[in-house]
Structure 1
């Protein structure tokens, strides 16, 4: 495993291009595009204000920079550096911006969710979509890019509109049996749309492409409901994370529950492997210490190296009892992610913030639990194989695969705390992001057996 030098960064805005050839990062109002292999700067763009969001077009030829405070979006071309585009929403304001799947239209959501404006880069035409709903996830595109689903709110009722992305014509419009729709997400095969209700109502609805209600699933009533969902890459399973600290798995044939995964604070099953991160005993080589210490040495003194030990079961995880009289309690399954080969599901229960649970989907049982020393900030699967990258807000990066797991110190000077990470599409490198810097971590390719 090798690491690049550190580069400046602001707002955790760093993204690989979809074709894997370039890496975009933002420093205040500057957009920097680098070659992935050499990290040499290819393009340097200057925006009108501090960049708050950045996104590549699907073909990697354009890049969008949104400045929500100013209500402006600027678009840059990688093929023609002199070409540029500025979209100003004016007094309507701007709260969200994204590309359409074809990479030639931009969808801007105005303040108070009054409308969505669709801007065409090719014809310079403008279309308007009224009544978008302000919710957790209100726009969803099918993976093939043909259709867009939009959550709407009209006359105190929730609706879904399905649009054809090629000409933005309305394909279907139907109301949903929700009290206060919280989000929508397509299955990867584009055949089923999952719609879930407010956290006050446990309800998930599954609709076909023509607007038919295929199934409704409710696990319980009179308690906080759905917190997160994830489709398996094959579209065969829908995992639903709930505030009751359980994950329920629905199958794609009957849309009934086939199992539920509990997240108890005590791991009792002897067949479960528990990796516990522990600090290595640092044998201080006093003869090498200098005074005053160098920056690199000072940093290493404050970031203790660590390793994983296999713990004996039963064992207790660090458990946080939620404060009942405060809003947004830290409780329930906040994050879910399937591995790219459908074999594993990684989950995080916010009551045990230092633990990651990895479930074997073929056997439908708990496979591994990782307990970290610090709270898990982010985890993400390698897009090519079952390998999980993890960061916990310290100066280390962690990797798990079925072969085992490893803790690696990031060799950066100063206070480099890894708050987020993103994988390259080839799975052989990942960007590690801190508050003010980022670096690229290069990995040897593991042979997939």
Structure 2
């Protein structure tokens, strides 16, 4: 494993691509500057200066363009990697700007104006402009099919929720229908693009499944009169829909009848002897007396005061740290807030916010709990390797944790200073990932394992 660091003052937001010539590229922004680096060496390939502080960056699907959004000024700048002298500026003017994203073809930009009055579709090829009215201000109001052919938009008109489906090739309206929701919270397509999931606000447990032509296929409710859906995740095969709820359970729906086939609970005590519980433990490295010197070298001082983590297998039953939510505060820390299927459709990783230090890994083929990772700190983020069942976890310290069916390991990031990993992102190849801190990031390179 090899690690390289990039540091900067201000906001750092790395994203990855695989399309810059023959070498993958990586982009990050620091204040006014956009830096494009070679993802394997971190060598600077391009450096662009924007008109204001960059608040969001995104690669186009073919990795030939990068958009930089400056929400405070209502401006989006687009840069070309093939032609560094070419650039584009989109100014929303008095309408303002709150969100910006690429269309799947990488040649159109969708800007959402302030107060969600409209979505403006800008074409880089024809310089034409299209408008979509009444977009709803919700967590996930725009969803594209994986093949990039269709786009669904959540809308709010006359105090009622609607969904419009557009054809991305010409932005023509394909279907427009109302939804049986009180306050639509999000929409997401199945990976095969045949079914659209729409779920209601957390005050009502309701998820609706629509076909491409707008027909309501099924409605699912688990219970009433309590906080409902907190997160959802489609399996890569589109056969399963996992629903994380505030009652600390995950319910799995099947794609044939859209009925529940099982539910996964997250108890504070693991009693099943067939479940493997990996517990993170810290130990201080031993230093030989002969190596001590006064004053100590920088490397020796760092090793003296640092701690290393490893995993021990705990004997069941195991009691996990359980946090009772504060009932009189908004957005209580409770329920299943993170869900992710492995790329081979074999595993599901979850996090129950009531037990913040644990990651639960479920065997989807056997529909039972397989592994629990018990961390010393609260889990901040986890993400699957896009090429194999390997999960990366970070907990806000300077370590990254990797799990696969073969076992798990904790890796110390050997960087100077206080580097706290708050999120991580895999490269599309699965050979590297970015470990993101508040003001800097670190590239982690992994040796490729042969999958038999």
TM-score when normalising by structure 2: 0.97
Mapped pair 1:434 → 2:434: no
Q: Which residue of 1 aligns with 2:331?
A: 328
1:220 & 1:18 partners in 2: Cα distance? 44
Q: Which residue of 148, 163, 185 corresponds with 2:151? A: 148
Q: Which residue of 2 aligns with 1:274?
A: 277
Q: How large is the Cα RMSD of the aligned pairs?
A: 1.4
Aligned partner of residue 328 in structure 2, secondary structure = coil
Which sits farther off after the overlay, 376-385 or 296-305? 296-305
1:301 & 1:265 partners in 2: Cα distance? 36
1:36 Cα shift?
Answer: 1.8
Q: Which residue of 2 aligns with 1:17?
A: 17
1:322/1:46 CA distance change after superposition, 3 Å: same
Q: Which residue of 194, 199, 202 corresponds with 2:202? A: 199
Q: Residue deviations 1:107-164, cap 9 Å, x none?
A: 0001111111111111111111110000010000000000000000000000000000
2:41 & 2:195 partners in 1: Cα distance? 42
1:211 & 1:9 partners in 2: Cα distance? 48
Q: Which residue of 2 aligns with 1:131?
A: 134
Aligned partner of residue 329 in structure 1, secondary structure = coil
Q: Residue deviations 1:158-210, cap 9 Å, x none?
A: 00000000111000000000000000000000000000000000000000000
Q: Which residue of 335, 344, 350 corresponds with 1:347? A: 350
Mapped pair 1:358 → 2:361: yes
Query: Which structure 1 residue ranges, 5 or more long, are not aligned?
Result: none
TM-score when normalising by structure 1: 0.97
2:100 & 2:297 partners in 1: Cα distance? 44
Query: Which structure 2 residue ranges, 5 or more long, are not aligned?
Result: none
Which sits farther off after the overlay, 433-442 or 233-242? 433-442
1:406 Cα shift?
Answer: 0.1
Q: Does the CA-based 8 Å contact 1:229-1:336 persist in structure 2?
A: yes
Q: Which residue of 2 aligns with 1:372?
A: 375
1:27 Cα shift?
Answer: 1.2
Correspondences of 1:204-223 after superposition (within 5 Å): 204-223=207-226
1:49/1:299 CA distance change after superposition, 3 Å: farther
Q: Which residue of 246, 252, 257 corresponds with 2:260? A: 257
Q: Residue deviations 1:293-349, cap 9 Å, x none?
A: 665555545541110000000010011100000000000000000000000000000
Q: Which residue of 2 aligns with 1:403?
A: 406
Aligned partner of residue 182 in structure 1, secondary structure = strand
Q: Does the CA-based 8 Å contact 1:52-1:68 persist in structure 2?
A: yes
Aligned partner of residue 84 in structure 2, secondary structure = coil
Q: Which residue of 57, 60, 63 corresponds with 1:60? A: 63
Which sits farther off after the overlay, 96-105 or 282-291? 282-291
Q: Does the CA-based 8 Å contact 1:100-1:106 persist in structure 2?
A: yes
Mapped pair 1:71 → 2:74: yes
Aligned partner of residue 160 in structure 1, secondary structure = strand
